[in-house]
Structure 1
């Protein structure tokens, strides 16, 4: 396990599972923190711990939680880590369950966060995600599987960064592309997560071809895959993602660095 992550000017690293660290605008942002060691988590099994632990991540300015309902996106140590942050942004239902310092954002709502580099504010926009097939049964709030929130980060002089959360819907990606222009970087949860008891075992997140299709729809110039390993319920890994990008002619956009390794982002 790596001992630490020095602050970067503008970069992202995936620590394993869904957990990404984004240094942007003088802020350290962590998405979907999962820091438990490998082992069973109810009906899911974690197969590998993070490349960097909580101490290695250090002080964080903002935590983004796509959803709190599943331990592969927010485990016990990840939950404790998030609660120590100055601010958590998540969906409305998750915010009610998590309590302070969580703030719930419905789709398309924004929250401004003061930047640490003196450049004004970072805008965080909540965007929709569908955690399963489009025709999956929906709850009273219209969610498939559970409430999931994606995020778009933007600010003056910064790349616009989209974090998908656990989304399986190209339709949702297309809507985001229509309503949010100029997405430069996409951190996409791939891996084609499958649970046999849910939706006839169909994917709950993007598979490799869906990840490549989402890239084309978004027009992003840099794509960082996440949430494709570290848990037993992923049906695809990095080789399938890389093959899909190769077949689509998009390999030059894919940045799949070893976990805990920084990927510089375009300014």
Structure 2
């Protein structure tokens, strides 16, 4: 009933669970400007580990492929070397990943991966931002782990909590990301992360995607302040980037 989490940077983390090494949204490029359709997104911090440092990866969980802050050039190469990537149907058509619709599951060894709903912005944003998915990992004798992906919808979190009422570890993508072409936030803000943790009954919360890009409206300090104000700072697990952290469900 343990999981080891190594935060690499942005949305990228290495999860060691049930004998698998699982990589989320691979991003390994150095800081700089990245084109994203009509926009340019600026990366301000590089990864804590290189693809070589990460080593073997058994499974990639890709929330979406269409934005460079969730999948970049070096990330694509690392993903291509992995034996299996799970993602949205849109991303699968472009990358060769295995497609998953919400609530479908895929078993990898002892781990069952269930795709769960995510909305990358306010309602109605899908024609602009495209498909996004989150994931829940379960298995006999394993903790239940939620990987939110770039989700801004608490309603999606409520639906997930209804299916998985006891989440041991929630990896929540935050940062309150925003861009001019969308009227509203693209990801959770710190206050929403607190609400999501409560909805999920999370035992541990690992903030991801809360720094490293100029289009983020909030950072790690905002997350710490929000959880402290809510009296939930004991839930926060903030690993030093690049260093594994072993988490055991309460």
What TM-score results when the alignment is normalised by the length of structure 2? 0.95
Task: Quote the offset at 1:181 in angstroms.
Answer: 2.8
Q: 1:239 aligns with which of 186, 204, 221?
A: 221
Tell whether 2:141 aligns with 1:157.
yes
What 5-or-longer segments of structure 2 have no aligned partner? none
Structure 2 partner of 1:97: 94
Number of positions where the alignment pairs a residue of Structure 1 with one of Structure 2: 244
Structure 2 partner of 1:80: 77
Find the residue that maps to 2:6 and give its secondary structure. strand
Tell whether 2:116 aligns with 1:132.
no
Tell whether 2:44 aligns with 1:62.
no
Tell whether 2:8 aligns with 1:11.
no
1:154-209, Cα deviation, whole Å (9 max, x unpaired)? 1111100000000011100000000123211000001100112212xx21000000
Q: CA separation in 1, counterparts of 2:138 and 2:122?
A: 29
1:73-98, Cα deviation, whole Å (9 max, x unpaired)? 00011011101100000111111110
Moved more, 180-189 or 26-35: 180-189
Task: Quote the offset at 1:145 in angstroms.
Answer: 2.1
Structure 1 partner of 2:24: 31
CA contact (8 A) 1:151 1:163 kept: yes
Find the residue that maps to 2:8 and give its secondary structure. strand
Task: Quote the offset at 1:34 in angstroms.
Answer: 0.2
What 5-or-longer segments of structure 1 have no aligned partner? 1-8, 115-120
Superposition pairs of residues 133-212 of structure 1, within 5 angstroms: 133-134=122-123, 136-139=124-127, 145-199=129-183, 202-212=184-194
Structure 1 partner of 2:104: 109
Q: CA separation in 2, counterparts of 1:104 and 1:44?
A: 27
CA contact (8 A) 2:125 2:182 kept: no
Superposition pairs of residues 37-52 of structure 1, within 5 angstroms: 37-42=30-35, 43-52=40-49
C-alpha change, 1:154 and 1:196, in structure 2 (3 Å) is same
CA contact (8 A) 1:159 1:265 kept: no
Aligned Cα RMSD in Å? 1.2
1:228-257, Cα deviation, whole Å (9 max, x unpaired)? 111111110011001110111110000112
Find the residue that maps to 1:44 and give its secondary structure. strand
